[in-house]
Amino acid sequence: MFKPSLRRDVVLILLVKVAILMTIKSIWFDAPSIPENGSARVAEYLLDSRGSIPEGGPR
């Protein structure tokens, strides 16, 4: 189906792309960014019984 050189080129390009993506991931996304008191704020928002949309909600 493919010539051996074309297959080799495609595999080489894919490996280079994966290496670049892994490098970017390790540089910018090295640790999760969890806000302080994140769980408590989410629980308060979900369990709020007022039923109103807070300021800055969907537009």
51, part of any domain: no
Region 51-55: mean pLDDT is 60
Number of structural domains found in the chain: 1
Amino acid at 36: E
Between the two ends of the chain, the Cα-to-Cα distance in Å is 52
Q: Are 41 and 35 in contact (CB under 8 A)?
A: yes
Predicted TM-score of the model (pTM):
0.49
Residue 1 has pLDDT above 80, yes or no: no
**Mean predicted lDDT score pLDDT of the chain:** 80
Q: Are 23 and 17 in contact (CB under 8 A)?
A: no
17, part of any domain: yes
54, part of any domain: no
41, part of any domain: no
Q: Which domain holds residue 2?
A: 1-29
3-state secondary structure of 40: helix
